[in-house]
Amino acid sequence: MIKINKTDLDGFLVIEPKCFHDSRGFFLETYQKEIYFSAGIKDTFVQDNQSRSKKGVLRGMHFQVKRPQAQIITVLRGCIYDVGVDLRVNSPTFGQSFGLQLSEEGPRQIYMEPGFAHGFCVLSDVVDLHYKVSRIYDPSDECGLHWNDPEINIKWPSIDFEVNKRDNNYQFLANLKDNNMLPHYPPLEI
């Protein structure tokens, strides 16, 4: 069966699907609407994405502004330190982060409802991730929170990071708030 754990951030869940191993390999059910729905994940998912990153890469902290996405992130291969930051202005946990290690050995998935920024750093030689999202990706709606914002104070693992220029130039939370660039929550129907 599947185990779904709440975190300190309402709307950010850690999911441990049952993985069946034998000498041939393994089988894993990564999504089943009725089971996830009964656990409170009621989003309709409309797009699947996959990424591969190498050790030391840090990606994030990404979000969509006008049409934020709910996401289920699954580690297909490798290991990451995964972080969500609550950017829902009226949330009691606004500005707080939750981070944990996810791997192909488990726990393997996280769910976040719309309004979170998401990022991760790669701890294994390579990682393959699968993203199930509730809205079609719109590059013109993409934004980000600086991965090392001192106000958020994410406890990233002590490794040398490789961060691309775009992610390194994202603004801090105070600037995003002052410039009305936080995710619309609830999302706008555009």
Mean pLDDT of the chain: 92
Q: List, for residues 94-104, the tens digit of each pLDDT value.
A: 999 999 999 99
Q: Is 62 a catalytic residue?
A: yes
pLDDT at 20: 85
The one catalytic residue in 62, 118, 146, 184 is 62
Cβ atoms < 10 Å from Cβ of 161: 16
Amino acid identity, position 67:
R
- CATH number of 3-178: 2.60.120.10, 3.40.50.1220, 2.102.10.10, 3.40.50.720? 2.60.120.10
Catalytic site residue from 31, 130, 131, 137 = 131
Q: Give this prediction's pTM.
A: 0.93
SS3 string, 116-176, reads EEEEEEECCCEEEEEEEECCCCCHHHEEEECCCCCCCCCCCCCCCCECCHHHHCCECHHHH
Q: How far apart are CA 97 and CA 85, in angstroms?
A: 4
- Annotated active-site residue 184? The verdict is no
pLDDT for position 186 = 67
Residue 25 is predicted with a pLDDT of 84
For residue 30, what pLDDT is reported?
85
Residues of the chain with pLDDT under 50: 190
In angstroms, the Cα distances linking 178 to 119, 182, 189 are: 22, 9, 23
Where are the chain's structural domains?
3-178
